[in-house]
Amino acid sequence: MGRENPPIVSVIGRSVADKTTFLTLLIAELKARRNRLAIIKHHNRRGIEIDQHGKDTWRHFQAGADAVIITTPVAGPDA
């Protein structure tokens, strides 16, 4: 597949569905096949901690993701 049409995979599920474990295994497998990967993690709350040992973003990076991005809700004027 050419660079102009990279595949996009979305993993959606409840917080107890073990998505992070699945993704770390998937990342490792795709990296073993010499793919470049960027992960976009959505987080529902403000006040997050990124790149902390054991957190999802850290685990994705440790599994081999080339880039890990996290999104959160935009703070309103009274936040």
- For tokens 């880039």, the residue is 67
The 10s digit of each residue's pLDDT in 12-23 is 998 889 999 999
How confident is the model over 51-68, as a mean pLDDT?
A: 88
For residue 66, is pLDDT > 90? yes
CA–CA dist 52, 37 (Å, integer): 20
Token duo for residue 59: 């685990």
Angle at 8 between CA 71 and CA 53, to 5 degrees: 45
The H or E element spanning position 19 is helix 19-32
Please give the pLDDT value at position 4. 79
More confident residue, 45 or 7: 7
Q: Is 47 helix (H, G, I), strand (E, B) or coil?
A: coil
pTM of the model: 0.75
Give the mean pLDDT of the chain: 84
CA–CA dist 15, 69 (Å, integer): 18
Please give the pLDDT value at position 79. 53
